[in-house]
């Protein structure tokens, strides 16, 4: 499919009034998600924060997704529809284009928790340039939602993601130096965050819901592969004790998969809901 690319110059905001507000780049990566893309776009363009650069990277969708993007192209600073080499390739494209101070990846189907998220973060707090900002999320399962509060423990960060990438704002200048490692199929976001911590970035937790995340992507359905990639990232810096931890995690997942097989997803969701 031939690439479709669109760039617009939105009306310049009043710099005298908003000169202290940082530009925030929000990125949506999508491929054949016609039923979820509009909610994601609306959640970004409905933010009451004035300084947003919005980038949409589509992987060459053929299901009507592009037509939805075109419907909102006057609200999008840059969008393209072309074949890519996976989600992290698409996210890297956006990083290279980004002009903001911080970048957030709100991919198709997921949304901001409400229309005040960016204002509540960037109008009420001041951050140094080398700060990675993160917060809570609302996990959306079939039939119910669950508030996911971050329990951040930097000494245990090697174990895996402690917060979602949808609820994270990374410094653009740092991300341009350290793109997502495409050798990881699922956990390149963890690889980036873990090494950002090792490289001395400041991690700042904001105790509020940032994103609504629709559960069901590959990072939730292929947990064995996720653990394998977490182990690959972490054992670059850790010992045999930590390697044993990942073997135990895989055993737990194996048991959970047996429970799902024989008791069904309904019982599994009840367990998650009341956990």
Domains assigned to the chain: 1-111 (3.90.550.10)
Q: Which residue has the higher pLDDT, 269 or 17?
A: 269
Separation of alpha carbons 206 and 203, rounded Å: 10
106 pLDDT higher than 50: yes
User: Can you tell me whether residue 170 is helix, strand or coil?
Assistant: strand
Q: Which residues, other chains included, contact 100 with Cβ-Cβ below 8 Å and sequence gap of 6+?
A: 22, 23, 24, 25, 51, 53, 172
Residue 4 backbone phi and psi in degrees, to 5: -110, 125
Separation of alpha carbons 30 and 106, rounded Å: 10
Least confidently predicted of 71-85, 140-154, 231-245: 231-245
* Rounded-to-5 percentages of helix, strand, coil across the chain: 45, 20, 35
* Reported pTM: 0.86
pLDDT computed for residue 217 by the predictor: 55
Confidence band (pLDDT; 50, 70, 90) for 247? confident
pLDDT computed for residue 269 by the predictor: 57
Looking at the chain, the whole-number percentage of residues with pLDDT higher than 70 is 82
């Amino acid at each position: 499919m031939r690439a479709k690319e669109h760039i617009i110059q939105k009306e310049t905001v009043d710099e005298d009034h908003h000169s202290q507000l940082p530009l925030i780049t929000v990125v949506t990566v999508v491929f054949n998600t016609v039923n979820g893309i509009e909610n994601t776009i609306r959640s970004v363009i409905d933010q009451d924060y004035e300084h947003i650069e919005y980038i949409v990277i589509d992987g060459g969708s053929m299901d009507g997704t592009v037509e939805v993007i075109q419907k909102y192209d006057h609200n999008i600073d840059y969008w393209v529809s072309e074949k890519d080499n996976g989600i992290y390739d698409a996210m890297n494209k956006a990083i290279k284009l980004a002009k903001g101070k911080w970048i957030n990846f709100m991919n198709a189907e997921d949304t901001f928790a409400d229309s005040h998220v960016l204002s509540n973060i960037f109008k009420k707090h001041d951050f140094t340039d080398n700060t990675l900002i993160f917060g809570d999320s609302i996990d959306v399962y079939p039939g119910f939602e669950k508030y996911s509060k971050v329990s951040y423990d930097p000494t245990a960060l090697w174990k895996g993601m402690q917060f979602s990438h949808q609820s994270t704002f990374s410094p653009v200048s740092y991300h341009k130096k350290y793109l997502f490692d495409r050798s990881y199929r699922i956990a390149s976001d963890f690889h980036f965050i873990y090494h950002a911590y090792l490289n001395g970035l400041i991690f700042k937790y904001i105790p509020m819901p940032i994103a609504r995340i629709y559960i069901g992507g590959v990072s939730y359905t292929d947990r064995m592969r996720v653990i394998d990639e977490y182990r690959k990232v972490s054992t670059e810096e850790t010992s045999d004790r930590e390697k044993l931890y990942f073997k135990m995690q895989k055993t737990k997942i194996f048991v959970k998969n047996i429970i799902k097989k024989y008791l069904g997803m309904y019982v599994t969701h009840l367990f998650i809901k009341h956990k």
